[in-house]
Amino acid sequence: MTASTPTLQVAPMPTVAEIRKDFPILQQEVHGHPLVYLDSTASSQKPVQVIEAMDEYYRTIHANVHRGVHTLSEAATTAYEDARLKVARFINAPSTKEIIFTRNTTEGLNLVAYSWGRANLKPGDEVLITEMEHHSNIVPWQLICEITGATLRYVPITPRGELDYDALSQLLNEKTKVFAFTAMSNVLGTINPVAELVARAHAVGAIAVVDGAQSVPHLKTDVQALDADFLAFSSHKMLGPTGIGVLYGRKEILQAMPPFLGGGDMIREVKLSGSSWNDLPYKFEAGTPAIAEAVGLSVAIDYLNQVGMDWITEHERQITAYAWEQLQQIEGLRILGPDPERRGGLLSFIFGDIHPHDIASILDMQGVAVRAGHHCAQPIHDHYGISASTRASFYIYNSLDEVDRLVAALHQAKDIFSF
């Protein structure tokens, strides 16, 4: 009698209907209509698993982390550091010492600009960013260039909403010390070739700083393969809570950087004559951290891993392609940015002469939640000669039927404004 080979049990691919059951907020009606949430680029919704994990933390093990020797403090510290390990594995970081918890992507980018920038930039140096950046990856560099005397340069974008690579070749040179760019535009949806851009930066001796706020929640991310020096992203855009973000940094660079904030936990020793700093990553984590939020982020990563990042990327690709096709058929509507195959799961558009805030208000009356405004990316809108746009963004819980609801609501807006 021969032993049989065990059958590999492969988890079935999820359905959107099954996923939606995990999101309590999506079960409600808005103005008498089932909620269609198309604003995940701003902030995603949270599954019940994340909500319950944070509630359980507060009910059972809440205490301050690190240095406490009582049972609750040790349990909270374990949960907090387990979250750091989970993040490191999610983006394939070589070490948890390279994972710094911040409040959000914005704080992570400011940390790099102020800590690395103040220590390394000087007059004659250049910082290169792009015109498609979120304000979080523009303003910190403007401020640090004012402080250090370095010069800030911008890579322009093409009419199709992609980087101008001819201009990039001229702008990226031996004077460039930092090349900071988004992996995916929060307005245009443009997915940039991160590994190629990082390689270009390194070829001229510059560090590469990547804004991953829009890419990490939607695309499988491997920081070792990308070879990025820094990558910042936020929990609240990837099914986790607000109030916590992540900065990945290459260990040897982080070790050479001075602290960003001073206070408790980031020190090794404090004397009236001066202080010395804690080891990585704690050197950059001053004060009591967002412990419950780290627990929530950890469970959000579990959820994303269970569904599968490849599934998520493909699901959004299908939704976006369908939405692109349907919106293109609406007379007077213009989509900003590249074709669906070169973009992530969002569509920003202008619709005749209707102000985006009016569009968003009309859609809201139909239960459809979209974003309206400049999306913290005014230079992009300046490029197109507009002040604002309407943005519909898609995630793990959205369906083709919801795209149809969006289209129907847009037709109603057109009827109201009679054009």
Q: What is the Cα–Cα distance from 78 to 98, expressed in whole angstroms?
A: 18
Q: Where in the sequence numbering do the catalytic residues fall?
A: 376
Residue with tokens 């293109």: 328
Please enumerate in sequence order all residues whose Cβ is within 8 A of that of 57, keeping only pairs 6 or more positions apart, or say none. Answer: 76, 79, 291, 292, 295
Q: How large is the angle between the packed helices 291-307 and 71-90, nearest 10 degrees?
A: 40
Q: What is the Cα–Cα distance from 369 to 40, expressed in whole angstroms?
A: 10
Based on the number of CB atoms within 10 Å of its own CB, is 63 exposed (0-12), middle (13-18) or buried (19 or more)?
middle
Structure tokens given for 159: 């009419």
Q: What is the Cα–Cα distance from 138 to 255, expressed in whole angstroms?
A: 25
Return the number of other C-beta atoms located less than 10 Å from residue 218's C-beta.
29
Per this entry, what is the length of the chain? 419
For residues 221 and 91, the answer to whether their CB atoms sit within 8 Å is yes
Based on the number of CB atoms within 10 Å of its own CB, is 325 exposed (0-12), middle (13-18) or buried (19 or more)?
exposed
Return the number of other C-beta atoms located less than 10 Å from residue 321's C-beta.
14
For residues 188 and 393, the answer to whether their CB atoms sit within 8 Å is no
Of the candidates 205, 288, 203, which has an alpha carbon nearest to the alpha carbon of residue 243?
288
Residue 156 preceded by cis peptide, ω within 30: no
For residues 355 and 180, the answer to whether their CB atoms sit within 8 Å is no
Q: What is the Cα–Cα distance from 76 to 295, expressed in whole angstroms?
A: 9
Q: What is the Cα–Cα distance from 306 to 22, expressed in whole angstroms?
A: 13
H/E element holding 276? strand 274-277
What is the bridge-based pairing of β-strands 368-369 and 346-351? unpaired
DSSP 312: H
For residues 265 and 259, the answer to whether their CB atoms sit within 8 Å is no
Q: What is the Cα–Cα distance from 248 to 379, expressed in whole angstroms?
A: 27
